[in-house]
Amino acid sequence: MNYSALVLDIEGTVCPISFVKDALFPYFVEKVPVIVQNIEQQSKVIRDIISQFNIDDKDALTKHILDLVAADIKDPILKQLQGYIWAEGYSSGEIKAPVYPDAVALIRRHDNVYIYSSGSVKAQKLLFGHVADSDGKSINMNGEIKGYFDINTSGAKVDASSYTNILKDIKMEKTPEKVLFLSDNPKELDAAKKAGLITGLAIRDGNAPVPNIDEYISYKDYSTL
């Protein structure tokens, strides 16, 4: 079937679900002690973010930040700090996003590709701006993606109304059956289906097993899309 637009999830769909846990978080945890201990040498942006924790003792501050990460606390100051540190990591080439080669090919094959992730639009653009190439370099794919959506722009990914919002934004509310949404999360697929979209379940190494997998159209690769 020919789709007029594709909406893609990120983790577990276009790149390994382990990327955040095994690459981004460890990178942040490694950098925090060095940054805090040398706070005077950091950029004004980093200093201003860290000052919001209101902890003067450097050891106590380091422990507080790392404790937030370990407990997976959705602290807004922490998220802001992570965003800037990851941005520096991407810029320096220390971080590259391992987007699946067939996902890269899929994005390049289609004109109307959109991204919808629980991660911020800023984080999405960072990721697609630094995609690992086969030669070890990074490539910028942002110019090949039509638009980005997150929970702030569109709503929670398990709510059908979020997909209705996206359809309106991409001017396809009258033809939702021409939009394909790919994700590894059945709850997200169910919500998108309620909004009228066609859905596909991403099957990738490391993804959680889906008990009722036969209820979904599954894709182990995207060569046929």
pLDDT 10s digits, 92-149: 999 999 999 999 999 999 999 999 998 888 889 999 999 999 887 899 999 999 999 9
The CATH number of residue 148's host domain is 3.40.50.1000
The CATH number of residue 82's host domain is 1.10.720.60
Q: Among the three residues 92, 124, 141, which one is the final residue of a domain in this structure?
A: 92
Where does the pLDDT of residue 72 fall: very low under 50, low under 70, confident under 90, or very high at 90 and above? confident
Q: Among the three residues 30, 63, 92, which one is the final residue of a domain in this structure?
A: 92
Domain that holds residue 208: 5-16+98-219
Q: Judge whether 51 is annotated as a binding position.
A: no
Res 1: pLDDT: 67
Q: Judge whether 91 is annotated as a binding position.
A: no
Residues 136 and 104 in one domain: yes
Q: Cβ distance 217 to 200 under 8 Å?
A: yes
Q: Judge whether 117 is annotated as a binding position.
A: yes
pLDDT 10s digits, 144-184: 999 999 988 999 999 999 999 999 999 999 999 999 999 99
Q: In a 10 Å sphere around its CB, with 0-12 CB exposed, 13-18 middle and 19+ buried, how is residue 158 labelled?
A: middle
Domain contains 151: yes
Give the end-to-end CA distance of the chain in Å, rounded to a whole number.
8
Q: In a 10 Å sphere around its CB, with 0-12 CB exposed, 13-18 middle and 19+ buried, how is residue 36 labelled?
A: buried
Domain contains 225: no
Q: Judge whether 159 is annotated as a binding position.
A: no
**Secondary element (H or E) of residue 8:** strand 5-8
Both structure tokens of 82 = 């992570």
pLDDT 10s digits, 30-53: 999 999 999 999 999 999 999 999
